[in-house]
Amino acid sequence: MPKTHAADVRRYKRKNKNKIKTYQHEYQQRTEVKAKRASRQKYREYLKSRSDSFVINLDLKDEIDAIYLVCQKKTKGTGMLHHVDHIVPLKGKNVCGLHVPWNLQVLPGQDNLSKSNKYEDVL
């Protein structure tokens, strides 16, 4: 009786369990890294698209960069992680903010994470 391809595959899998497991683990790690990079790139592009129409001059870009520097200094100075938060979320349920200096604030990381993507209008 001739050997079938399926039987060969089963035999190979039985003999090479560890090799297959290692390969699958490495593959999963590679794809997770690619997905994270793609996600970060997509977010950067989204930020850029939300600010392009307003970044008429370099002053606004410099102001945004200054806010991020303040955030880094607060994190270093206090030893507690700080985030740059969008006051009006970029992708809120009912509102849509912009990536501009007047929509940014520095918050402790815990506060920003608990805020999530919510916007509470304070009038």
Q: Which pTM value belongs to this model?
A: 0.54
Q: How confident is the model over 77-106, as pLDDT tens digits?
A: 999 999 999 888 887 777 888 888 999 999
Contacts of residue 20, Cβ cutoff 8 Å, sequence gap at least 6: 13
Is 73:107 a contact under the CB 8 Å cutoff?
no
Q: How far apart (Å, rounded) are the C-alpha atoms in residues 112 and 115?
A: 5
68: left (phi over 0), alpha (psi -120 to 50) or beta: alpha
Q: How far apart (Å, rounded) are the C-alpha atoms in residues 97 and 99?
A: 7
Highest mean pLDDT among 5-9, 42-46, 67-71, 98-102: 67-71
Q: How confident is the model over 17-63, as pLDDT tens digits?
A: 999 999 999 988 888 888 888 888 888 887 777 665 554 566 788 89
